Amino acid sequence: MERKVVVTGIGIVSPVGLDRDSTWKAILAGQSGIDRISAFDAEAFETKIAAEAKGFDPLVAMDKKEARRADRFVQFATVAAIEAVKHADLKITPENATDIGCIIGSGIGGIGTISEQHKVLFEKGPSRVTPFLIPMIIADMGSGHVSIRLGTKGPNFCTVSACSSGADAIGESFEIIRRGDAKAMVAGGAEAAIVPISVAGFSSAGALSKRNDNPKAASRPFDAQRDGFVMGEGAAVLVIEELEFAKARGARILCELAGYGATADANHITQPAPGGEGAARAMRIAMRKANLTPKDVDYINAHGTSTQLNDKYETMALKAVLGEDAYKIPISSTKSMTGHMIGAAGAIEAGFSVMAITDSIIPPTINLENPDPECDLNYVPNLARKGMVRTVLSNSFGFGGHNSCLAFKRVIQ
């Protein structure tokens, strides 16, 4: 028997807010979290801008020793997970711990620690490298730390699928609950890759915006003047539960997680498949599982990276799946404000999708001033839009040809 899955909690650390409520308020106001890089001296770099989680303090949820032994992406994950579980009012006890699991995705893992300790190795020698190096850098440690901190003893692992990592963490958690292997999952993504080596790498690949003179306007999905994505950082975590488990404990149900589709392009290491063929298949799978037709979809949170090919091919994929309805459905890219949070992107955008349903409001795509003629859909330019939101699709696509789509539905209680 396939079980219904619902969302009961959300936790967020982002470039526009250090918790769920402040982040959502900033998103609806169209505020950009992009600025000149402050984490290191970027003067010699072609790209000097990013979306940093400024003012983040891990000590709001971790003690000093724990924080010192955890990479920044793990710190983000821990803070977001604790907020999500508190929001869900989920009490994890010895009696239910084995029924609750945790999946936290990360595209890059502890690259900040790798960079720091590589310098230590060459300046001070191998004996000075921290004994916590390996537990700090491996990508599963977001999930591992959160599980240890919360006491979850159900399924526990990390999804690593580049920019689809956070969405896949939520999607795989959905499947785990549907088949009965857990009753609740703490699921999301975390990333902290705004360090010299990764900024240099993405920049050398030609992926990043170089709009250094106007950071707030640099991320401009679907705009004709877009010139690349802007790196972001942070984490987002959802608590998802089997419907009957949530009802039995009196949980407040935010919405239903009704569908998940995942596909591969099998095309190119960085470029999406022509026409968004793989993306279209992921959307169709999610819609089929959620029993949705194009006319049922009220809003789409697009992957919308602000790169030339992604925005063009995602638009083509939306048209292929939705037909003429593609022109009627509001679509927006919140990456215009948060930047691209890599492994956390799909998770925070899933959170925005849920909040769009609960608050009946659609976030905008900011900086959309000169629409690309090839991107001619309804991208909710610059201002949030009020309106009934019953169903949402959230798209995530990653380097390596990974495509994921999550489908959310309003629950009538």
Contacts of 43 (CB under 8 A, 6+ apart): none
- Compute φ and ψ for 232, nearest 5 degrees: -125, 175
Where in the sequence numbering do the catalytic residues fall?
Answer: 163, 303, 340
- Compute φ and ψ for 321, nearest 5 degrees: -80, -40
Q: How many CA atoms lie within 13 A of 174 on its CB side?
A: 28
Q: Which runs of consecutive H residues, i.e. helices, occur in 297-369?
A: 308-322, 335-338, 345-359
Cα(262)–Cα(396) distance, rounded to whole angstroms?
Answer: 10
Contacts of 119 (CB under 8 A, 6+ apart): none
307 closest CA partner among 340, 284, 279, 275: 340
Through-space distance between the first and last CA atoms of the chain, rounded to whole angstroms: 22
Q: Which residue has the tokens 């009957």?
A: 244
Provide the 8-state DSSP code for 251.
P
**Amino acid in the structure at residue 291:** N
143 closest CA partner among 100, 204, 200: 100
Determine contact, residues 168/344, Cβ cutoff 8 Å.
no
107 closest CA partner among 66, 81, 142: 142
Q: How many CA atoms lie within 13 A of 153 on its CB side?
A: 9
